[in-house]
Amino acid sequence: MADLKTEIAGLKLKTPVMVASGTFGSGGDYADFVDLDEIGAIVTKSVTLKPKTGNPPPRICETPSGMLNTIGLENPGIENFIKEDIKFLKGYKVPVIVNIAGETLDEYIELAAILDKEDRVSGIELNVSCPNVKKGCITFGIDPLATKELVRAVKKSTKKPVITKLTPNVTDITVIAKAAEEAGTDAISLINTVMGMAIDINTRKPKLSMGSGGLSGPAIKPIAIRMVNQVYKAVKVPIIGMGGIMNSSDAIEFILAGASAVAIGTANFIEPSASVEMAKGIKEYLTTHRILAIRDIVGKIIS
């Protein structure tokens, strides 16, 4: 029987299919539609030290083969997150990776230290890639020196696995990936959304309140696969691939490109059980091709 188990940064996952930050909350809104314990891991929406209201509406608009968003990291803050979300997740066994975002280095350090005390938290994902805020996390993801400083500092403040989530909105993503690896990141996830814009031709105004926003969905899949493959060739730490994965075939492409696991984002809005169904599809693929384990095809594209 095909083995779907994989390991990311020391975390043992029953399937390689996770849910991506910002598309699944902390699972509460989806629990009536999908068994959360059948998901490889839940990556929570970004949490900050203090509550954030996010950007003004309109914050989402549909585009050909994708969607633009400029949510702006709206969240209840770490104190409420622990009281509500972590409390809820204690009722499940699924690995929980908490995505954190800050405006300063000290904020990331403090968030990591707080979460280090929470037994229900399996790992921490550093958001250094959100394009929808004016300051803070994105600045750490476009400068390799800033990336290195942040990862190194966070690693000192927690014993939990640290995953660094990269932005595609850079000249050479491998430079940032290498900086994160050198600083000690346990894994890398990529990609976050690609900067984009849409205009209402009748009002002549942008469709999003902030003008531009992050593009997700099938439109960015080829970009994401290319970047995953580039990073796979550049670093030795495991990779979580994401960006426009809508079915198991998409997920397998990412794995062949070098991802040890994948994270599902936009597809969750269409089908809440997308991650579980994709895991089933991957298992069928392995069985059909007589492949014993998912790890046997990681990075195995034929060039």
Instruction: Work out whether the CA dihedral 76, 115, 193, 20 comes out positive or negative.
Output: negative
DSSP 3-state assignment of 124?
strand
Q: Residues 17, 280: contact at Cβ < 8 Å?
A: no
Say which of 11, 126, 130, 227 is annotated catalytic.
Answer: 130
230's CB contacts (< 8 A; 6+ apart) are 173, 174
Q: Residues 7, 123: contact at Cβ < 8 Å?
A: no
Q: Residues 35, 23: contact at Cβ < 8 Å?
A: no
Determine the Cα–Cα distance for residues 181 and 237; give it in Å rounded to an integer: 7
**Burial (CB count <10 Å: 0-12, 13-18, 19+), residue 276:** buried
Determine the Cα–Cα distance for residues 82 and 80; give it in Å rounded to an integer: 5
Determine the Cα–Cα distance for residues 258 and 269; give it in Å rounded to an integer: 26
How is residue 187 written in tokens? 């894994």
Q: Residues 238, 261: contact at Cβ < 8 Å?
A: yes
Determine the Cα–Cα distance for residues 123 and 254; give it in Å rounded to an integer: 22
Amino acid found at 148: K
Half-sphere exposure of 168 (CA within 13 A, CB side): 24
Helix 248-257 crosses helix 274-288 at what angle (to 10 degrees)? 70
Number of other residues whose CB lies within 10 A of the CB of residue 177 = 26
61 catalytic residue (yes or no): no
Half-sphere exposure of 69 (CA within 13 A, CB side): 16
Q: Which residues are catalytic?
A: 130
